[in-house]
């Protein structure tokens, strides 16, 4: 289970350090994709495969289901950590989540979420 909140900077090449506490649970390869509320979701391959199976059950005739699958799956990228514990986030995903420099990485049970610090602070303020 992922939990906790960590603050790290993304560099000019789109690389972000994943907290060491999360690296083992993520495994060698994992998936990063567009999340909900303009953040990114990061899943271990095991969790990703569970999600794919659930998505297969969504009705193809539902416009909302098709729209969600397009947004969720088209942004999905398989990643692995470099020797320094960083991931390279594709430019399309950094733009989607407005990741500029300061980021917040949170553990949310079965996934990590990567937020821009500004959006995370707004979310926390609005959730009080």
Instruction: Give 25-83 pLDDT, tens digit per residue.
Output: 999 999 999 999 999 999 999 999 999 999 999 998 999 999 999 999 999 999 999 99
Average confidence (pLDDT) over 5-27: 94
pLDDT digits (tens, 9 = 90+) for 106-123: 999 999 999 999 999 999
**CB atoms inside a 10 Å sphere around CB 72:** 16
Contact at 8 Å (CB) between 7 and 104? yes
Q: Which residue has the higher pLDDT, 12 or 42?
A: 42
**CA 99 from centre of chain:** 12
Looking up tokens 């609005």 gives 126
């Amino acid at each position: 289970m992922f939990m906790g909140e960590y603050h790290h900077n993304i560099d000019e090449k789109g690389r972000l350090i994943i907290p060491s506490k999360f690296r083992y649970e993520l495994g060698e390869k994992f998936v990063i994709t567009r999340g909900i509320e303009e953040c990114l979701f990061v899943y271990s391959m095991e969790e990703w495969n569970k999600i794919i199976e659930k998505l297969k059950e969504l009705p193809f005739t539902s416009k909302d289901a098709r729209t969600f699958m397009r947004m969720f799956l088209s942004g999905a990228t398989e990643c692995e950590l470099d020797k320094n514990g960083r991931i390279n986030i594709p430019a399309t995903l950094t733009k989607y989540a407005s990741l500029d420099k300061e980021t917040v990485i949170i553990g949310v049970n079965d996934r990590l979420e990567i937020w821009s610090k500004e959006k995370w602070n707004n979310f926390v303020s609005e959730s009080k």
